[in-house]
DNA sequence: TAGTGGTCTAGACCACGCA
DNA sequence: GCGTGGTCTAGACCACTAG
């Protein structure tokens, strides 16, 4: 319970003061999964109208701190998960800490390499390339969408072999290829195409886009080009030099 | 003027119907720079309360279609810029590079350390901390905004010494302190506060936010906490493991 | 059925931009 | 001073969740 009351003459809007107060309290007692008190309770506590509380909570939602669930309440969300960009990608292992991670395969195609894909895989234009589209989730909450591109000639049976689980583990097992990340290019964009709906997020909130190249550690040939879109409100990338 | 009236029993919220109607009209008569009719006029036209119109316009703002200007009205914004334009001008910022282009100092303050700042600098709450706000540009085009936080006790004269150029070079020169970046946390958000106008960008395009900690290489004490916001349409971060 | 959030109305007063 | 958006209140009713 806060000691300081709302100051109606401070120049700062009441809803804004309440938003900051709630934000502080959420971060101090980082109770992810908990529910905020009901709106009418908060209204009584701060001595304001319920609509004013709603306006404050709107701010928290915009920040990605909480989510409203109709009929249930307003739930505190997990803080963005740190995702370390290292040499070896271990998506599943990194994310599994909290809950049950899952990878869903959305598309499996063979396409002719063009432009950036051909260039990054160091193959001729029109060379057949495997394209996997995967969606990763924790506890049914999607957090990233990955387009994987791999030269078909190098992994001739991968199209049939890959049906679930970790792609890199499968490659390691079936082809004795150890992958190492050599470069990542990170930027932020608004979600394109179906990405927003697949990630179950707003079209107007940004995603982190990471282009990465993985090479075969044995011969340093590029084997995979991956284009990952992270929900930026759920993920932050940790980079250690 | 629309022919179809609002249907109060369609299941779709009234504000949502109004938002779609307005969106259609804006896009048909794409009159960027024009102002929407005043809220009370729209309310009258749709036979709803002014608050309901406001809720509808909130949606359009969220989409980046219009902006409210206090005392003036609600203005239709330009169509979003095509992404291909952004791609051309996008360049890459090395995580380690200090940045040599023009740096403008926007603010120099001493503030009491609180929360994340205190924690990351490993100082007590309320310890005096220097806060520099700088803007970096290339060819007059701003591309990033940095909040630097440094313990005042460690750099007692820095407030007066720093007037232009590279902060890290100055620290090295005056205090014989070599800084090393030990951690970076990267995420993407929509610009907050004045960031959009300082970076001369749309409020609806994302920025890359990098939190980084620099330590003194001699004793491994944290000396600077920097919070950088990059224009994501102009910058991508290259990360080499 | 009780409790929660979702929407809409009605009216008041304030703060800002501009002529 | 007028017209604009910004905020806050008060109350009503609906829709969803869960016991």
HEC assignment per residue over chain A:
CCCCCCCCCCCCCHHHHHHHHHHHHHHHCCCCCCECCCHHHHHHHHCCCHHHHHHHHHHHHHCCCEEEECCCEEEECCCCEEEECCCCCCHHHHHHCCCCEEEEEEEEEEEECCHHHHHHHCCCCCCEEEEEEEEEEECCEEEEEEEEEEECCCCCCHHHHCCCCCHHHHHHHHHCCCEEEEEEEEEEECCCCCHHHHCCCCCCCCEEEEEEEEEECCCCCEEEEEEEEEECCCEEEEECC
Residues of chain A with C-beta less than 8 angstroms from the C-beta of B228: none
Burial class (CB in 10 A: 0-12, 13-18, 19+), A122: middle
Does B97 contact A at CB distance below 8 Å? Answer: no
What's the pLDDT score for residue B50?
96
Q: Is the pLDDT of residue B91 over 60?
A: no
Residue A64: what pLDDT?
A: 84
pLDDT of residue B115: 83
Residue B163: other Cβ atoms inside 10 A: 8
Is B93 a residue whose pLDDT tops 70? no
pLDDT one-digit tens code per residue, B175-184: 999 888 888 8
Non-local (6+) Cβ contacts of B60 within 8 A are B19, B22, B23, B26, B66
pLDDT at B153 over 70: yes
In the numeric block, the tokens 């993407």 are attached to B188
Q: Confirm whether any atom of chain C, the nucleic acid strand, is less than 7 Å from CB of A73.
A: yes
Closest chain B C-alpha to A207 CA, distance in angstroms:
7
Give the closest residue to B144 by CA, choosing from B193, B186, B101, B83: B101
What pLDDT score does B98 carry? Answer: 42
- Closest protein residue to D8 using CA and C1' atoms? A52
Which tokens sit at A67? Answer: 């989510």
Nucleotides of C under 7 A from a protein CB: 3-12, 15-18
B206 near A CB under 8 A: yes
Query: Beta carbon of B73 within 7 Å of strand D?
Result: yes
Instruction: Provide mean pLDDT across the span A86-92.
Output: 56
Closest A-chain CA to B96: A241
Of B129, B117, B121, nearest in space to B155 by CA? B129
pLDDT score for B118:
94
**Does residue B52 have a pLDDT over 90?**
yes
Q: Which nucleotide shows the minimum CA-to-C1' distance to residue B16?
A: C7
Q: Does A54 touch chain B (CB under 8 A)?
A: no
Provide the pLDDT for residue A18.
96
A205: exposed, middle or buried (C-beta count within 10 Å: 0-12, 13-18, 19+)?
buried
pTM: 0.84
Mean per-residue pLDDT, A149-166 = 92
Task: Return the top range by mean pLDDT from A1-15, A97-111, B225-239.
Answer: B225-239
B20 vs B91, more confident: B20
Which token pair is B30? 């794409």
Nearest-by-CA chain A residue for B240? A183
Assess contact for B123 and B213: CB atoms under 8 A: no
Mean pLDDT value of segment B146-163: 93
- When pLDDT is averaged across residues B194-220 and rounded to a whole number, the result is 87
Helix B39-46 vs helix B50-62: crossing angle, to nearest 10 = 110
pLDDT at A17: 95
Highest mean pLDDT among A98-112, A198-212, A216-230, B94-108: A216-230
Mapped onto helix, strand or coil, the DSSP state of residue B40 is helix
**Looking at per-residue confidence, does B101 or B82 come out higher?**
B101
- Facing residue for A189 by CB, picked from B95, B180, B232: B232
Among all residues of chain B, which has the CA nearest to that of A83?
A: B185
Does B187 sit within 8 Å of A208, measured CB to CB? yes
pLDDT range class, residue B6, cuts 50, 70, 90: confident
Q: Name which of B62, B63, B206 is nearest A188 (Cβ-Cβ).
A: B206
Min Cα separation A13/chain B (Å) = 15
Question: What is the model's pLDDT at position A212?
Answer: 92
> Token match 């007037």: residue?
B163
Q: Residues near B138 by Cβ (< 8 Å), separated by ≥ 6? A: B101, B102
Query: Which residue has better confidence, A192 or A183?
Result: A192
Which bases on strand D have an atom closer than 7 Å to a protein beta carbon?
3-12, 15-18
Q: pLDDT at position B72, please?
A: 95
Mean pLDDT of B52-73: 93
* B193 has a pLDDT exceeding 90: no
**Beta carbons of B207 and B230 less than 8 angstroms apart:** yes
Query: Is A69 touching B (CB cutoff 8 A)?
Result: no
| Spatial CA neighbour of B187 closest among B229, B145, B146 | B229
The yes-or-no verdict on residue B14 having pLDDT over 50 is yes
The answer to whether residues A146 and A166 touch, using CB atoms and an 8 Å cutoff, is no
Structure tokens at B225: 């906490």
pLDDT score of A100:
60
Q: If you average pLDDT over residues A191-220, what whole number do you get? A: 90
Q: What would the mean pLDDT of B158-162 be, rounded to a whole number?
A: 91
Phi-psi region of A226 (alpha: psi -120 to 50; beta: other; left: phi over 0): beta
* Cα torsion B116, B119, B121, B124: sign: positive
Token duo for residue B213:
């900690």
- pLDDT given for residue B85 in this prediction: 32
* DSSP labels, B65-106: SEEEETTTEEEEPPPPPPHHHHHHH-EEEESS----SEEEEE
Residues from chain B that touch A241, judged by Cβ atoms under 8 A, are 95-96, 180-182
């Amino acid at each position: 319970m806060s000691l300081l009351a709302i100051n109606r003459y401070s120049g700062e809007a009441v809803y804004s003061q309440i938003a900051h107060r709630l934000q502080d309290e959420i971060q101090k007692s980082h109770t992810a999964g908990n529910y905020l008190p009901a709106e009418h309770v908060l209204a009584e506590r701060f001595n304001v109208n319920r609509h004013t509380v709603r306006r404050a909570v709107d701010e928290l939602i915009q920040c990605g701190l909480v989510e409203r669930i109709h009929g249930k309440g307003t739930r505190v969300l997990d803080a963005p998960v740190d995702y370390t960009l290292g040499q070896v990608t271990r998506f599943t292992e990194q994310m599994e800490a909290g809950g049950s991670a899952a990878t869903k395969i959305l598309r499996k195609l063979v396409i002719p390499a063009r432009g950036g894909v051909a260039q990054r895989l160091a193959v001729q234009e029109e060379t057949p390339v495997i394209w996997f589209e995967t969606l990763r989730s924790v506890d049914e909450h999607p957090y990233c969408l990955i387009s994987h591109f791999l030269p078909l000639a190098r992994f001739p049976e991968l199209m049939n072999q890959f049906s679930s689980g970790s792609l890199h583990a499968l490659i390691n097992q079936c082809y004795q290829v150890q992958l190492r990340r050599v470069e990542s290019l990170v930027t932020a964009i608004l979600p394109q195409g179906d990405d927003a709906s697949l990630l179950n997020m707003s079209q107007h909130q940004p995603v982190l886009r990471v282009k990465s190249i993985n090479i075969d550690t044995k011969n340093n040939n590029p084997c995979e080009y991956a284009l990952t879109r992270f929900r930026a409100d759920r993920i932050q990338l940790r980079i250690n030099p």
